[in-house]
Structure 1
Amino acid sequence: MSLKKAYILVFLVLIIDQVSKIYIKTHFYLGESVKVLGWEWFQIHFIENEGMAWGAVIPGDYGKLALTVFRIIAVFGIGWWLWDSVKKKASNYLVVAIALILAGAVGNIIDSVFYGVIFNDSYHQVATLFSEDPYGKWFYGEVVDMFYFPIWEGNLPEWLPIWGGKYFTFFNAIFNVADVAISVGVGILIVFNKRAFGGSKEEKTLAATAGIEEK
């Protein structure tokens, strides 16, 4: 895959991610939920993530800033990895995976860097884009999440150790398009590991040529 095509993939994922987030911010108040097609197991549920994945938070006044800066540095590293992989004519599996991970990382960084200064808060109200009363400041924005798939909810059997009788939701994570892109990218690297890291096209061609010459 060429670098141009990889960048197009990154751009498309970013557009879908940001359009969906801006729509949610400007049409839902925080905590509002809508069942898609009336299904209990597929909902649009608006929350904001203040920290890392799964809602984890770095303690301290500068925890959020440190997280955002770390993400930005990581994105430059992923961007270089993408450029280097294309230059070395790596497998399309690897290039697509890196492009998806890059797009997802950038998508969530945009929220962290900009949303605090372009939106007002969403508590009991629908936020306004380019508000004169923003809820935060640069690098302190919150990441918008909305996809919720509570496939099963109920009390677990009493005979189960530790969790027996407790109320349980499967699957209770709430995520966004950027998160999906990152997960799919990582999934490709895991499932198609041999194809992704099986050497560049140039190396495979040289190996095949050497094998023919030996015969």
Structure 2
Amino acid sequence: MKLRHSVLLILLILVVDQFSKVFVKTNFYYQEEVRIFDWFRLVFIENEGMAWGTVIPGEYGKLFLTIFRILVVPFIGYWLWDSIIREKSNFLITAIALIFAGAVGNIIDSVLYGVMFDDSTRTHLATFFPEDHYSTWLHGRVVDMFYFPIIEDYLVPTWVPFMGGKTVTFFNAIFNVADVAISTGVGILIVFNKRAFTLPPQSISRVFHNKLD
């Protein structure tokens, strides 16, 4: 995959990610739910911390998380550029591009959304660039909306260890386009590990000829 193809993929993901987030943020009340199918719904929530709602405690926890994300992204970008220059496999380049795009997409929320919008509540729709924004730079909340409760309120048999007798929902996470990109990129690296980290035939041939020269 060439550099321009990676850039186009990253830009496409960022446009779709930000459009969906801004649309939901400005058209949905907080925790409003739109049922597309029984197993697919749009539910507007905002994530204060990391994936799965994990929060770093303390007054500066959110700031630390945002700065950490910003510092990590250049390394992912360099990994992508280096893999393209070295003509690594398309599996690897695609995976890195997806992870990079997803990371940047969620960073945009964390860095900008606190000053771009006012607060979303169950009775108030957020507005663009209000006088009374809900937070400050680097303290924005990540917008999530996709919910796939494929199995909902399932009563686990009592004989199942630890979970017996409890009611569970699968899949109960609410996520966004950026999260999908990151998860897909990581999934490619795991499932197609050998293909991702093996040089394609043309690159192997080029390396061989360079050594002979």
Aligned to 1:21: 21
Letter of the 1:81 partner, please give it.
Answer: W
Please state whether the residue corresponding to 2:34 is helix, strand or coil: strand
Unpaired segments of 5 or more residues in structure 2?
A: none
1:157 equivalent to 2:157? Answer yes
Q: Are the equivalent residues in 2 in contact too, given 1:90–1:201 (CA < 8 A)?
A: no
Give, in whole Å, the separation in 2 of the partners of 1:144 and 1:206. 45
Identity %: 60
TM-score w.r.t. the length of structure 1 is 0.93
The reply to whether residue 99 of structure 1 matches residue 97 of structure 2 is yes
Residue of structure 2 aligned with 1:113, choices 98, 104, 111: 111
What's the offset of the Cα at 1:101? 0.4
Deviations 1:128-183 (A, max 9, x none): 11111110000000000000001112222222222211111111011000000001
Q: CA RMSD in A?
A: 1.7
Query: In structure 2, what residue type is equivalent to 1:28?
Result: F
Q: Distance in 1 between matches of 2:3 and 2:201?
A: 15
Contact 1:89 1:201 in 2 (8 A): no
Alignment of 1:153-192 (within 5 A): 153-154=152-153, 155-192=155-192
Aligned equivalents of 1:205 and 1:31: distance in 2? 55
Picking from 68, 71, 85, the partner of 1:70 is 68
Deviations 1:18-73 (A, max 9, x none): 0000000001111111101xx21100011100001100000111110110011011
Map of 1:81-100 to 2, 5 A cutoff?
81-100=79-98
2:88, 2:203 within 8 Å by CA — same for their partners in 1? no
Confirm or deny: 8 A CA contact 2:99 2:186 kept in the other structure.
Answer: yes
Deviation at 1:190, TM superposition (A): 1.0
8 Å Cα contact 1:6-1:96 kept in structure 2: yes
- Provide the C-alpha distance between the structure 2 equivalents of 1:92 and 1:201, rounded to a whole number of angstroms: 12
1:44 match: secondary structure: strand
| Contact residue 87 and residue 203 of structure 2 kept, 8 A | no
> CA-to-partner distance for each residue in 1:62-92, whole Å, 9 max, x for gaps?
1101100110111110000011011111111
In 2, Cα distance between the equivalents of 1:76 and 1:209?
32
Unaligned runs of 5+ in 1: none
Query: How many residue pairs end up in the alignment?
Result: 209
Kept in 2, the 8 Å contact 1:120–1:131? The answer is: yes
What is the identity, as a one-letter code, of the residue corresponding to 1:136?
A: S
The corresponding residue for 2:143 is 144
Distance 2:128 2:156 in 1: 43
